[in-house]
Amino acid sequence: MHDDLEQRKSQHLDLVQGDVETADTLLSCVRLVHRALPELALENVELGAELCGRQLKAPLIITGMTGGTPRAGEINRDLAALAQEMGVAFGVGSMRILLDQPDLLPTFAVKPARPPLLLANLGAQQLVQRGNGAALRLIEMLGADGIAIHLNPAQELVQAEGDRDFRGCLDAIAGLVEQIGSQRVLVKETGCGIGPAVVRELYDRGVRAIDVSGSGGTSWTRVEQLRAKVPGARELGELLSDWGIPTAACVAAARATAPEVHLVASGGIRSGLDAARALALGADVAGLALPMVRAHQKGGVEAAREALKAHVDALRAAFLLCGARNVTALRASRPVVLEPLRSFIEGLVE
């Protein structure tokens, strides 16, 4: 099983270089309102944000995607160093493999890098099966500030070796929050989105940080379809390749449902403008994964640095062009929401 996990993680890194984006975030339906007289200097735009009790210089997190192989280790170390340099948050990919193969820690460890927020990562099913001790062990091994608990039922169903029992996850997450505190737990999807009903369930059980990770970015069901060797799994993966709630709809519905939650918008954030649109809809932070991994794969740490800087620069420009000094002002600028996103949001929050 351990070798299978390593092979799977290596295959994932190869496959995400290809055509694995199948849906629409609907972020293009969010039109930020231009202000011809911004009455701002670019240097006065304040991009600072807070997530999990930590202060960020820009409202971005490089979200967890990889780990478990030497190549993944290099990516994690380099991107974590960039996160520290730019003052943004960083999360590693699923650390499940470390529970049985702790010798693979170097493929996740990012020291000496110290991003302002560093998150470990474990699946909700593994939290149910292995308990809070497993989560605490992973946090300690990584030297992390907290942990992302990921939800990925659609991906699991397409994996031949995936989980099929998703009972007990909410109780397990609530128990972890109770033990270690809400500032140390972020619950995230993996590309299918978190709708308002689940946002409410999580919030009511003490969760205060949620990454909606909507559809429109990396489709892990598509990735698993490409991995699948069994015809039935390939067919299911194709059917579910664009399954989920678009990122833009997730963000707006989540904010309407839980006004106080710390909200991350990931899933198809491909530019600083996408990030600005998500923030205007109600996100506190925008998450990037695939663009950073692809940039690193193409040109190493320098290409990744340029990609991250471009996102921050575009984000700052969007703030200024809306006359917004900070995130609060950006939301107050009231973006115009076009169809079909408007109807999608109304359907979710009714």
The yes-or-no verdict on residue 321 having pLDDT over 70 is yes
Cis-peptide into 340, omega within 30 deg? yes
The yes-or-no verdict on residue 16 having pLDDT over 60 is no
pLDDT (average), residues 281-309: 95
CA distances from 320 to 24, 284, 315 (A): 27, 18, 9
The yes-or-no verdict on residue 340 having pLDDT over 70 is yes
The yes-or-no verdict on residue 230 having pLDDT over 80 is no
Instruction: Note whether 262 and 49 are within 8 A (CB).
Output: no
pLDDT (average), residues 236-257: 93
**Which amino acid is located at 277 in the chain?**
R
Tell me the DSSP string of 256-302: HH-TTSEEEE-SS--SHHHHHHHHHHT-SEEEE-HHHHHHHHHHHHH
Give the rounded percent of residues in the chain with a pLDDT score beyond 70. 94
pLDDT (average), residues 227-242: 80
Instruction: Note whether 254 and 345 are within 8 A (CB).
Output: no
Q: Note the pTM of the prediction, 2 decimals.
A: 0.94
Indicate the domain borders of the chain.
2-29+39-349
Joined together, the tokens standing for residue 227 give 């991995």
pLDDT for the residue numbered 21: 66
Q: State the Cα–Cα distance between residues 345 and 341, nearest whole angstrom.
A: 6
Q: For the chain, how many helices (H) and strands (E)? A: 14, 12
Give the rounded percent of residues in the chain with a pLDDT score beyond 90. 79
Name the CATH superfamily housing domain 2-29+39-349. Aldolase class I (3.20.20.70)
CA dihedral 4, 6, 10, 11 (to 10 degrees): 20
**Least confident window among 22-31, 65-74, 210-219:** 65-74
pLDDT for the residue numbered 1: 47
